[in-house]
């Protein structure tokens, strides 16, 4: 017999300006400042059965501001900081590429992962059996919302304040 694969609803969150303060290419522990309500918002989404996935452009790597290893360590620190508050991040996707990089490893004229392209979202959907029709994105830039649109899901603009209040109002729950 064939068993249909289980698919999960997911919420895609931008990192800088949504989960943490966007201080301009944050990459060191002292730059890690959670947005008010960030952990509570992720906990709320976890409780409602959403897989929470971070999708973040990190052109600081391509611009030579920090290394890919520093970027990954910072993302791990963020995931642990949230987990310590009971907030579970299911996966992190980061795009280090940029069209103005002098470093051939990170140069790309228009990388499919770099938002507004939907590559990170589409890969997450495939990697984690996500149902796009039950999923959405929260970002603080139009390029985030455009990536969601290209991935076939709604995107909502977070313009600051308390992320948990924003999520609560969005879900009406
Ligand atoms: Mg942002």
Which residues lie at CB < 5 A from ion ligand 1?
A: 14, 16-17, 140
Rounded distance from Cα 21 to ligand 1 centre (Å): 9
CA 76 to each of CA 71, 90, 152, 162, 169: distance values in angstroms, whole numbers, following the listed order? 9, 12, 28, 23, 29
Report the CATH superfamily, name and number, of domain 10-171: HAD superfamily/HAD-like (3.40.50.1000)
Choosing from 14, 22, 113, 144, the catalytic residue is: 14
Instruction: Tell me what the mean pLDDT of segment 94-116 comes to.
Output: 97
Backbone φ, ψ for residue 29 (5° rounding): -50, -40
Rounded distance from Cα 84 to ligand 1 centre (Å): 23
CA pair distance 96, 169, nearest whole angstrom: 33
Question: Active site includes 140?
Answer: no
What single-letter DSSP state applies at residue 5? P
Q: For residues 65-92, b (16+ Cβ closer than 10 Å) or e, as one string?
A: ebeeeebeebbeebbebbeeeebebbbb
Rounded distance from Cα 75 to ligand 1 centre (Å): 14
Coil, strand or helix: which one is 4?
A: coil
Rounded distance from Cα 24 to ligand 1 centre (Å): 10
Residue 4 confidence (pLDDT): 63
The answer for 19, left when phi > 0, alpha when psi is -120 to 50, beta otherwise, is alpha
Coil, strand or helix: which one is 78?
A: helix
Question: Active site includes 14?
Answer: yes
Instruction: Tell me what the mean pLDDT of segment 83-99 comes to.
Output: 98
pLDDT digits (tens, 9 = 90+) for 13-61: 999 999 999 999 999 999 999 999 999 999 999 999 999 999 999 999 9
H-run or E-run covering 164: helix 163-171
**Residue extents of the structural domains in the chain:** 10-171
Judged against a pLDDT cut of 90, whether residue 6 lies above it is answered with no
Judged against a pLDDT cut of 90, whether residue 71 lies above it is answered with yes
């Amino acid at each position: 017999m064939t068993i249909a694969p289980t698919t999960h609803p997911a919420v895609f969150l931008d990192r800088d300006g949504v989960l943490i303060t966007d201080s301009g290419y944050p990459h060191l522990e002292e730059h890690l400042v959670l947005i008010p309500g960030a952990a509570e918002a992720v906990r709320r989404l976890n409780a409602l059965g959403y897989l929470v996935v971070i999708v973040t452009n990190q052109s600081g790597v391509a611009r030579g501001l920090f290394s890919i290893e520093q970027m990954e360590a910072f993302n791990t620190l963020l995931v642990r900081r949230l987990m310590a508050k009971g907030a579970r991040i299911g996966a992190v996707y980061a795009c280090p590429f940029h069209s103005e990089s002098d470093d051939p490893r990170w140069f790309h004229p228009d990388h499919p992962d770099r938002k507004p392209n939907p590559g990170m979202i589409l890969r997450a959907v495939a990697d984690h059996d996500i149902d796009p029709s039950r999923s959405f994105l929260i970002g603080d830039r139009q390029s985030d919302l455009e990536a969601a649109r290209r991935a076939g899901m709604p995107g909502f603009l977070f313009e600051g304040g308390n992320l948990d209040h924003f999520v609560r109002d969005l879900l009406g729950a």
